[in-house]
Amino acid sequence: MMEFRLADNYAKPMQEGEVTELLNQPSILRIAMIDARDGTPLVHPVWHYYEDGKFFLTTYAGGAKARSLKKNPDVYFLVDVADKGPPYGVRGKGKARVIDDPEYAKKVISRHIMRYLGSPDSQEAKMLIENAKNYSVIEIAPLYMATWKY
């Protein structure tokens, strides 16, 4: 069972239903990791979806995220909203798993397309699906989520 914590002593905790609502929005997840090349921090904004207690995202199979997470699967993540009234969000630590499976990547990318673009019919959507053969899936299993709302 997911452990929820309060992220800020001056904020209120989000209820589980509010967390679910936030994670069902097409918001951006920011993922932080250690760069495999030089040990410095990396932070990337990514499309994602959350299901069955995990975040699912994709990345170029030979890219910095895939290389770095294969070497060190520890991540920090953040999903927040600050443009629709008072800020709120979730953040936490997790373990990432990189899966090099082009068919799986195509399924995840297709879900992202519907979530963020709304249709597979645009030129961008078609290009993303065509390039799925070059992508890996990253599954993030959160160790905990810290929530806040004001």
Fold of 4-100+138-149: Pnp Oxidase; Chain A (2.30.110)
Q: Residue 1's pLDDT band (boundaries 50, 70, 90)?
A: low
What average pLDDT is seen over the chain? 94
Question: What does the pLDDT look like over 68-78, one tens digit per residue?
Answer: 999 999 999 99
**20-52 pLDDT, tens per residue?**
999 999 999 999 999 999 999 999 999 999 999
Report domain extents, the chain.
Answer: 4-100+138-149
SS3 category, 53: coil
**CA–CA separation, 64 and 38 (whole Å):** 11
Q: What is the pTM of this model?
A: 0.93
**Any bridge partners for residue 14, and if so which?**
none
Read off the pLDDT band of 83 (50, 70, 90): confident
Is residue 120 within 8 A of residue 114, CB to CB? The reply is yes
